[in-house]
Amino acid sequence: MEWQLSTDVVVIGAGAAGLAAAVSARDHGAAVIVVEENFDIGGHAMLSGGRVHLGGGNALQKKFGIKDSPDQIFADWVNHKRGDSRYNDRDLVRAFADECEPTFQFLLDNGVTFIEKPIVTPDASTVPRVFVTHEWHIPGEVIAPRRNRNGSGLVRRLAESARRKGARILLKHEMKEIVRGNGKAARVLGIVAQADGKDIAIEARKGIVIATGGHTGNVNFRRMFDPRLTEEYQQAGLPYSFQGADGELAAMDVGASLWATGTQTSEVGPAITKTRHVGTRWGYLSLYFELDSPIFHLCKATGLTVTDWQEAILVNQFGKRFWNELDSSYDFINAALGNHGDTTKLNGGGPLWAIFDADAVARQKWKPKPPHVDPDGYFASADTIFELAGRIKNPYQKQPISGAVLQETVNRYNSFVVSGADTDFNKPTPLHPIAKPPFYAAWATPILHDSLTGLRTDIHAQVIDTRGEAIPGLYCAGESQGGFAQHGLGRCLVFGRIAGRHAAQRNS
């Protein structure tokens, strides 16, 4: 192979795990190149709320008198009574538990600052362990300004530190392939990335860290775990940061194994969530992109925030209600992903539409016009329900909704408002009829959020092959790593730091 660039450690992806790996590898004396496919660093972590889940007796826990220890973290995250802990790989949880406090200190040492207020105990944790980073101070560099995207402070500080320490971050460089020597015990040699349509081969003398963020955006890959997840679903992080399972696929091409795949479908944690911002292609729960976001041209609309699902009904691609709109549990998700009697497309539930009227718009103070909604396939309005059905046109809506069916759905729902009881789906006391024109239909399809499974690694974050052997020089951290179904930044930062350190300490 002819290498255009050469370094000790190549990190693929400049998000939470990749930046931690880059800094950690530099701290241990390795030369580092990070390749990042996006135009800027940060990945999902840039858009995150910056709620960092690390405990073990860290400096801020001590300041607030919160008693915690690695043993307590371990006990919490292997608790057989909880779905988010039951299936975790005990070896990985032990490594995580032992490295939480040093990772928190590592963040402080690299300029990350935190709001000094512990967050109520989340997920499996039995003591408060979450502290929130400060948002980055330059609004134009926050990507989603004024939406409390505190994770921007985390990744901007880590990128600043990585560069100051001498790591090279190559933006708009997409990893296409991991190159491995011949033979079962051969180590990985480098990667091929693409920039401006040209291939660039980068040698990794010591190791390669996969930190590409997971698989939510790859339809074929995500359907390995759940065949219902066909192309229509929204993905958290878009349209900023795409997660296409590139790291997983490139590693599997050189022999890597997946791990603890059942965690993706165990119906705990935010693998799939209901949306709260409707009428835009990329909805979310707590985030939308304002007009001055540097990526607003990609989103095209902010969306309308539904603060109360009494304001709308949700219908499927046939114009029929399918569940109690007030529910956000996996019962709702399973109903949304059901087949609904589609004989042409057996997998996936198809698009969902929020249907509401002018009174709901007034109560919610919505502005149902561009740039708040996207009429190019994700929002429609009309003076009658019948007409509205005909105006719902979307790439994922395979057949037109029948006006008669949608009218019947609305009539029936309105009768529940009069009688005070939803005899179809038990929505508690339906409050508002859908009666005052104009009428509206807004895209409200569920969102794929976390990758909770990925590549098998050992406690050093070394990738393991399908026969249980480490692939020499290959590492993985973040949402592309399997075996520990914890939501978010905590495990990504811990294993990123472990991966960078171990790769740097390898003999070439």
Residues in the site for ligand FAD, rule: CB under 6 A?
12-18, 35-38, 43-45, 47-51, 53, 151, 174-175, 211-214, 236-237, 241, 243, 246, 284, 287, 478-479, 488-490, 492
Residue placing its CB nearer to ligand FAD in the complex, 151 or 349: 151
Distance in angstroms (rounded) separating the CA atoms of residues 63 and 131 = 12
Q: Is the peptide bond before 371 cis (omega within 30 degrees of 0)?
A: yes
User: Of all residues in this chain, which one has the CB nearest to ligand FAD in the complex?
Assistant: 15
Q: Which residue has the tokens 């057949």?
A: 399
Please say which residue, 238 or 355, places its beta carbon nearer to ligand FAD.
238
Identify the residue whose tokens are 């991991």.
178
Q: How far is the CB of 147 from ligand FAD (least distance, A)?
A: 9
Report the 10 Å Cβ neighbour count for 69. 15
Helices 489-505 + 16-27 axis angle, to 10: 30
Nearer residue to ligand FAD within complex by CB, 142 or 489: 489
Residue recorded with tokens 């019948």: 386
C-beta of 381 vs 486, nearer to ligand FAD: 486
Quote the CA–CA distance of 137 and 289 in Å, as a whole number: 18
Q: How far apart are the first and last CA of the chain?
A: 17
How many angstroms separate the CA atoms of 106 and 59, rounded? Answer: 11
Q: Give the sign of the dihedral formed by CA 191, CA 193, CA 199, CA 205.
A: negative
Q: How far is the CB of 277 from ligand FAD (least distance, A)?
A: 11
Rank residues 130 and 441 by Cβ distance to ligand FAD and give the closer one: 130
In the complex, what is the shortest distance from the CB of residue 496 to ligand FAD, in angstroms, rounded to a whole number?
Answer: 7
Shortest separation between residue 129's beta carbon and ligand FAD, angstroms: 11
Q: Which is nearer to ligand FAD, 97 or 434 (CB)?
A: 97
Shortest Cβ distance from residue 490 to ligand FAD (Å)? 6
CA 363, 367, 369, 372 dihedral sign is negative
Shortest reach from residue 491's CB to ligand FAD, in Å: 8
DSSP state of 135: P
Q: Which CB atom, from 15 or from 350, has the smaller least distance to ligand FAD?
A: 15
**Measured from the CB of residue 347, what is the shortest distance to ligand FAD in angstroms?**
25
Nearer to ligand FAD, 38 or 88 (CB): 38
Q: Which residues are bridge partners to 354 per DSSP?
A: 314, 442
DSSP letter for each residue of 62-127: HHTT----HHHHHHHHT-TTSHHHHTS-HHHHHHHHHHHHHHHHHHHHTT--B-S-PPPPPTT-SS
**Minimum Å distance from CB 502 to ligand FAD?**
17
